[in-house]
Structure 1
Amino acid sequence: MAQAAGIVRALKATLKQHGKTYADVSAVLDISEASVKRLLNRGPLTLDRLERICEFLDIRFSDLVQHADQRRPLLELSEIQEQELANNTPLLLVAVCALNRWSFQEIVSTYAISETECIQLLARLDRMGAIELLPGNRIKVLVDAHFRWRSGGPIRTFFRRHIESEFFQCDFHGPGELMLFQNGMLSREANALMQRKMKKLGEEFEQLHREEKNLPQAEKFGSSLLLAMRPWELSLFTSMRREPIQKQF
């Protein structure tokens, strides 16, 4: 399944290299542009249609296969794919588990998802190119070590909404909990320095996550780290200013 997804990604990259658009493909296949988008992002793309697109691009099918074999690990999903995840909670749950190196058995034994449903959801992630579903329902993660959800995309929007309503409903005094809130006046240079330190801490978090990926699930627990920094003043204070606050950046 991942091989088919790789060929589709190679096809999209080839279209871009040739300066061709979805509108061009829609004319070749005699279907709507919206249908082309669905085929190239969700499938299924039949062999007949794939051959017609190859003829249009004047390339051989073997060229796509070779290109797919040379593809790099996935760095991010498309916005359409992220929206599909955001609109389907079970799919998003399985995606998060898979990307965190959970096994098939760990997913179905932990969550109220049947084996059949889990296989179907993993197959959809396979078509997206995020994983490869191997024989025996083994999961091979295909994303790059620096994989990120799209900035301002559907997944970050989804989690931000839940962070606002759930994450902060806590006093952060329990085991494994800590919240720091600092407020002060910083220069642009000091602000930039703090942001570099925050990014470094995020990298260390990811490194620890990778180092412990093979530990049994019983020895780990879901952990979330939220770091945020921006020019900001409490709105109550801003409303009391004599002059509008001036942007510093």
Structure 2
Amino acid sequence: MSQTSALIDTLKRQLRSQGKTYADVASWLELSEASVKRLFAEQHITLERLERICDQLNLEFSELVQAMQEEEHRLQELTQAQEQSIVDDRELFLVAVCVINGYRFDEIHRQYQLSEAQCTRQLLALERLKLIDLLPGNRIRRRVAANFRWRPGGPIQRFFQQYIATEFFHSRFDGDNEKLIVLNGLLSHAGNVEWQQTMQRLANEFHALCERESGLPIHQRFGTTSVLAVRQWQSTLFKDVARGSYQKSNRV
């Protein structure tokens, strides 16, 4: 991530932490809300405008930079071995997912059939993995970055593909809290790259929304999974009727 992207992401977190919106920023900068959204999306915010926003947040620009640097030192992903150690221990896996999603000690103990001793043992294991700091009173301080992710193609992602994906897609996706969109079309290599960038921005928005709602009581928040995937791919469904070289082409 570039320094500009990191700085703007940090600014977004500061805005969310104070309950401020694009509409607030628009009024501070005397711009339309659409213009502000475009500035953030394109990451074209001048230093003068950044300082004006910081002023409204009672934040020095140097403090914003410091917050960005602190975030950069937080854990963004685990090593292959660390992920494997989590996958190999179902109890540890459960507690890891809980703390990454902001559960407190008592919430883990209350929601799952784990004793206090079991919770403590697994939290200490996560502390050794540097995911958290376990503080006095069983308070949990996460050490993961806002954009923390499981390793692409790593043990946890493979575990999802092997065991969870089938269960996840075993749904009609017609409930109020469900949605399935399947898209199919023809894209150039450049178009594919652009679409992947759009997907990443959407993933960032998902993380931002989770962070924004992290202050809500746990009983008002629910486990939610969103799968974003794209693949230059041709189904074998029509392969037998394709002509010659088109059998190995990238056509639909």
For normalisation by structure 2, the TM-score amounts to 0.67
Distance 1:221 1:164 in 2: 19
The 3-state SS of whatever aligns with 2:174 is coil
Distance 1:239 1:75 in 2: 45
* Deviation, structure 1 residue 240: 3.3
How far apart are residue 184 of structure 1 and its match? 1.5
Partner of 2:110: 109
| Deviation sequence 1:213-237 (CA, Å, 0-9, x none) | 1210011111111111111121122
Unpaired runs of 5+ in structure 2? 1-71
CA contact (8 A) 2:75 2:148 kept: yes
CA drift at 1:247: 5.9
- 1:226 paired with 2:252, answer no
Q: Which moved more, 1:127-136 or 1:161-170?
A: 161-170
Which contiguous aligned blocks of 4+ residues in structure 1 show a shift greater than 4 angstroms? none
In structure 1, the partner of 2:248 is: 245
CA RMSD, 1 decimal:
1.8
* Distance across 1 between alignment mates of 2:183 and 2:166: 22
| Counterpart residue number, 1:187 | 188
Provide structure 1 residue ranges, at least 5 long, that are not aligned to the other structure: 1-70
Q: Which amino acid aligns with 1:132?
A: D
TM-fit CA distance, 1:188: 2.2
Q: Which amino acid aligns with 2:161?
A: R
Secondary structure in structure 2 of the residue aligned to 1:95: helix
User: Would you say how many aligned residue pairs link Structure 1 and Structure 2?
Assistant: 179
1:49 corresponds to:
none
The Cα of 1:163 is off from its aligned counterpart by 3.4
TM-score (norm 1): 0.68
1:95 and 2:116 are equivalent in the alignment: no
1:146-182 CA-to-partner distances (Å, cap 9, x unmatched) read 2211111101111122333201100000121000011
Trace 1:42-121 onto structure 2 (pairs within 5 A).
72-121=73-122
CA contact (8 A) 2:147 2:204 kept: no
Structure with the bigger RCO (C-alpha within 8 Å, sep 6+) is 1
Indicate yes or no: 2:199 matched with 1:198. yes
Is 1:207 the counterpart of 2:208? The answer is yes
Q: What is the distance in 2 between the residues matched to 1:238 and 1:120? A: 54
